[in-house]
Chain A
Amino acid sequence: MADVQTLALAPPQPAPTAPRLGRLSAYFGTPGNTLISVLSIAAVVFIAKLAFGWLVVDAVFSGNGETCKAASGACWPFVAQKLRYMLFGFYPYDEQWRPMLALLLLFAAFLFSMMPRFWSRGLLLGWILLVLPVLYILMAGGVFGLTPVATTSWGGLPLSFMLSFVGLTLAMPLGIVLALARASNLPAIRVLAVGFIEIVRGVPLISILFMATVMLPLFMPEGVTIDKLLRAQVAIILFASAYIAEIVRGGLQDVPAGQYEAGSSLGLHYWQVMRKIVLPQALKKVIPPMVGLFIGFFQDTTLVTIVGLVDFLDTVRSAIRDPQWQGIAVLEGYLVAAAVYFTFSALMGAYSRFLEKHFRTTHA
């Protein structure tokens, strides 16, 4: 505050000259502003020209690796030829309609769940009892005349979506239980919950994935092996549950104590108070931060490529390293991957802003 006192004695500044250019004054009102505008425009034009030249003018639209090598622009035949592999990995070629259908089903279920008017207790149950089993049957097969496909052949975009969103859906109940345990007035339960949450949040995801892939087999009785995909999925669920628990805790703290007391005085016991009164209010409040967590986890699942699972980033990388295209289409591959991740993350970001507005206007 010291500086303010000093400056209070400074001579008054001359009044700024009135803007004469109207709307343009925001861009060219003062010399400094004009400089910023000119530099910004120059930067945009420079980047646009570079991008257009690379993406369109110098690009190769048909041919093979050799034609691409000769040209200086983007190599679109690589994307066209490798797109299906990038999307589905080593899933049997003739059966790839199944992961496609699973992906579409997942999107449809998401669109449905994103509309506030469908939010209810049944929705989470519907996900766990209906959507997830159908997804699993589509991917794994073995019933209804579908050829069985081992999880080792699963890959690409469906795997990325499954690991992140299925993981978060299943982590939700666990996270809620952890949050309740942390808020519990039974000391032993509270200490256990705090210990779990803080340990998980204090270490990187990669260490939990390492634990699941390298260490867990040592803890299994002899002869028992757990599928690698399942192990990574469980690791993600445990990791996510700690973060969900912290968000839900924020929601629980926002519910006034009077709500608990009113519930108890009606003769409801703990679980009834939680289920019927507190949680419905708390969970509604934490939906916007939860969407933020979803975006983060969607991106964080890329880490499974480090422990050897074939997610979307991994299929893109192995497409780049294909001997036919090696060293030719590196930027193209990463650009496709970045575009996919960007699209879904940005959509979820827009949804989160919509929600914030929705909550502000409806006072929910």
Chain B
Amino acid sequence: MAFLHDMRFRAFFYQVVAIGAVILVGWTMFSTASGNLAKQNIATGFDFLSRPAGFVITEAAIAFEATDTVGRAILVGIANTVKVSLLAAILGTLIGLAVGIARMSRNPLLARLALVYVELLRNVPLLLYLFLWYSLIILILPPVRQALNLLPGVYLSNSGLVVPAALVESGGGALLACLLGGAAAAFVIRRVFTQKRVATGRSNHGALIATAAFVLPALVLWLAGGVSIDWEFPTAGKFRLTGGLHVRPEFVALLFGLALSVSANVAEIVRAGIQAVSKGQWEAAAALGLARAKTMRLVVLPQALRIIIPPLTNTYLTVFKNSSLAIAIGYPDLVMVSNTVMNQTGQAIETIAIFMGVYLALSIAISLLMNWYNAHVALKER
């Protein structure tokens, strides 16, 4: 039995056993499931995606009617998930950056306040906060019949915020072209001016000119009457407001909750990143006569970014996955729409497979994007 002690045989044997076990479990589950489904008269396969959905989605990032297909309903769910996570990530990063810098303030009061903020957010479950924000919106704001009329056309009530909607009637394409062209021009101008400044050592107004290049074409087009925008004002009916752009409380509560949780994490990551930059950098900048704020912006933050990016990637992945808590307060994200689909069609396996696949694919996409950015800011060794 010498072959039992042969390392190569053992390695081969273990692997065959592992793969065999996985296949066996998978096959057993598959056959039981298909048997069960056949007994319950549930058809398998993805045909249900092209059937009419038959339910309405209260808030859709892309247009949706009850007569549209189930597949489109799931697409709406994906769009809603992406919308809320993207906004929460941006908002949370901005707040977190401010809080993280405040944490490092030389003023002990401000530093302590920032610490309290971070600890309060990190030590209480996100779901609890979501419930809390949602209940507060419902409790504090008046019902829709007594909606607060903040500005002409702006109503705030416990069914959300309603503002006039801007409907672009014509010239939308031209406006988009102006904005894109402006952005490209601004990018080039900024690069050229930065190179010139490096070469000559004299400061110039690159940032200002670049901003102008971005804003001016669109502004000129608008002033010249190239775009006509139709403002749709909401009208207060007896029971509800019709027309206008409706921001629902579920969305606000979710966005707020996610953004705050991101901000606490970002604050800690930024603080750790800044602290990791050696003290000599601060001293060298001070010796060159740089003020503290400028040192932070021009010397410390660019170096801290290298340490910050990997944990920041994790935070973004987390907020994307946490947006699935939407179902708890009724925002129609991917999970909630899938849940509705599951209840209506009974296609639990397919639906769960779809939404897990979507989460997986988008998670991988976020990782790749952030890895690319990380490689971009990483220390370039000569």
Contacts and interface: CB of A to CB of B under 8 A. Distances in A.
B198 A5 contact: yes
B32 A221 contact: yes
Contacts of A214: 342, 348, 352
A215 B327 contact: no
Interface string A26-43: 110000010011001101
Measured as residues with beta carbon below 8 angstroms from the partner, the interface class of chain B is: 35 or more
Contacts of A334: 128, 131-132, 135
Nearest to B19: A188
Interface stretch (A77-85, A147-155, A337-345): A337-345
Interface string B279-299: 000000100111100100011
Interface stretch (A9-17, A254-262, A271-279): A9-17
B211 interface: no
Interface string B96-124: 00000000011111100100000110111
A186 B356 CA distance: 28
Nearest to A2: B198
A202 B15 contact: no
B149 interface: no
A4 B107 CA distance: 27
Main secondary structure of the interface of B (DSSP, over half): helix
B290 A41 contact: no
B356 A187 contact: no
B124 A345 contact: yes
A268 interface: no
B296 to A, nearest CB: 12
Contacts of A189: 14-15, 18
B355 interface: yes
A342 B18 contact: no
Interface stretch (B56-64, B214-222, B317-325): B317-325
Interface stretch (A111-119, A128-136, A298-306): A298-306
A337 B299 contact: no
A62 interface: no
A143 to B, nearest CB: 33
Contacts of B364: 202
Interface string A304-347: 01100000010001000000000100110010011001100110
B202 interface: yes
Nearest to A37: B109
A226 B197 CA distance: 70
A61 interface: no
A349 B123 contact: yes
A215 B352 contact: yes
B201 interface: yes
Contacts of A299: 124-126
B132 A207 contact: no
A157 B163 CA distance: 43
Q: Which of B11, B128, B324, B328 has the most CB of A within 10 A?
A: B128
Contacts of B198: 2, 5-6
Interface string A49-86: 00000000000000000000000000000000000000
B352 A210 contact: yes
A94 interface: no
B355 A207 contact: yes
B360 to A, nearest CB: 4
Contacts of A300: 125
Interface in B165-198: 194-195, 197-198
A303 B18 CA distance: 33
Contacts of A36: 105, 107, 109-110
Contact of A215 (B18, B124, B195, B349): B349
Given A5-B201, A346-B119, A206 B325 contact: yes
A295 B359 CA distance: 24
B120 A305 contact: no
Nearest to A181: B18
Contacts of A330: 135, 139
Interface in A256-301: 295, 299-300
B64 to A, nearest CB: 22
B29 interface: yes
Contacts of A341: 123-125, 128
A40 B110 contact: yes
A202 B356 CA distance: 8
Given A207-B359, A303-B325, A3 B113 contact: no
Interface string B124-156: 111110011001100100000000000000000
Contacts of B29: 219
A207 B128 contact: no
Nearest to B114: A40
Contacts of B15: 186-189
In this complex, the member of A37, A40, A186, A300 whose beta carbon has the largest number of chain B beta carbons within 10 angstroms is A40
A204 B317 CA distance: 10
B348 A192 contact: no
Contact of B197 (A6, A40, A187): A6
A18 to B, nearest CB: 16
B33 interface: yes
A8 interface: yes
Contacts of B194: 2
B41 interface: no
A189 B11 CA distance: 10
A327 B321 CA distance: 31
B36 interface: yes
Contacts of B339: 210
A199 interface: yes
A41 B123 contact: no
A48 interface: no
B377 interface: no
Interface string A343-355: 0011001000000
A264 to B, nearest CB: 12
A207 B327 CA distance: 11
7 contacts: A13-B290, A44-B113, A202-B359, A203-B360, A204-B359, A222-B39, A334-B132
Given A189-B18, A331-B135, 16 more contacts: A6-B203, A7-B298, A10-B289, A26-B107, A27-B109, A188-B16, A202-B363, A202-B364, A204-B321, A204-B359, A302-B127, A302-B128, A306-B325, A313-B128, A341-B124, A341-B125
